[in-house]
Structure 1
Amino acid sequence: MARTAAALHILVKHKELAEDIIKQLNKGAKFDVLAKKHSTCPSGKKGGSLGEFKKGQMVPPFDKVCFTGELITPHLVKTKFGWHVIKILYRT
C-alpha cells in the first residue's frame, strides 16, 4: 500500500476550463506551461508541483485519486477549492 505520492496539479474554478486543459495535455501540451498560465493555486508558479506528500494530507477526493489513479494520466477532480487537473508522478 502506497504511503506517499508526488503529483502536479492545476486548480481552476470552472469544469469546462479543466476539461479543456486535459484536452490540451492529451494533444501534447506541457503541464508546467498550462499550470503557470491557468492555475489559481500558488503551486502554479512552480509548474503545478506539489512535491511528495503523505496519504491523508490532501482533501479526501484529491487524496483518493493520488493514491488509486493511474500514473501520468491527467485526472479531473472536484474539491471545495475548485476543479483540479492532477498528474500523479509516482507513489512509494
Structure 2
Amino acid sequence: MANTAHALHILVKHKEKAETILKELEKGAKFHLLAKKYSICPSSKKGGDLGEFKRGQMVAQFDKVCFTGEILKPHLIKTKFGWHIVKVLYRT
C-alpha cells in the first residue's frame, strides 16, 4: 500500500469550468499551462504541482483519488474548496 503520492491539480469554483478544462486536457492541452491559467489555488504558480504528500494529509475525497485512482489520468472531484482536476504522477 502506497504511503505517499505526488499529484498536480487545478482548482476551480464551478463544475462546468472543471468539465471544460477536462475536455481541453482530453484534446491534448498541457496540464501545467491550464493550471497556471485557471486554477485558483496558490499551486497554480507551479503548474498545479502539489509535490509529494503523505496519506491523510489532504481532505478525504482528494486523498482517496490520490491513493486509489488511476495514475496519470485526470480525475474530477468535489471538495469543500471547489472542483478539482487531479492528476496523480506517482505513488510510493
Please tell me the TM-score bracket, short chain as reference: over 0.9
Q: For residues 18 and 67 of structure 1, what CA distance do their matches in structure 2 show? A: 21
Q: For residues 69 and 19 of structure 1, what CA distance do their matches in structure 2 show? A: 18
1:62 aligns with 2:62: yes
Partner of 2:48: 48
Once the two structures are superposed, what CA deviation does each residue of 1:53-77 show, in whole Å capped at 9, x if it has no partner? Answer: 0000000000000000000100001
Q: Which portions of structure 1, spanning 4 or more consecutive aligned residues, are displaced by more than 3 angstroms?
A: none
Residue identity in the other structure for 2:53: F
What secondary structure does 2:85 align onto? strand
Partner of 2:71: 71
Deviation at 1:5, TM superposition (A): 0.1
Q: For residues 62 and 19 of structure 1, what CA distance do their matches in structure 2 show? A: 17
Partner of 1:30: 30
Flag structure 1 segments of 5+ consecutive residues without an equivalent: none
Identity %: 75
List aligned pairs for 1:6-21, cutoff 5 A: 6-21=6-21
TM-score if structure 1 supplies the norm length?
A: 0.99
Q: For residues 3 and 35 of structure 1, what CA distance do their matches in structure 2 show? A: 26
Flag structure 2 segments of 5+ consecutive residues without an equivalent: none
Q: For residues 13 and 34 of structure 2, what CA distance do their matches in structure 1 show? A: 15
Q: For residues 40 and 75 of structure 1, what CA distance do their matches in structure 2 show? A: 17
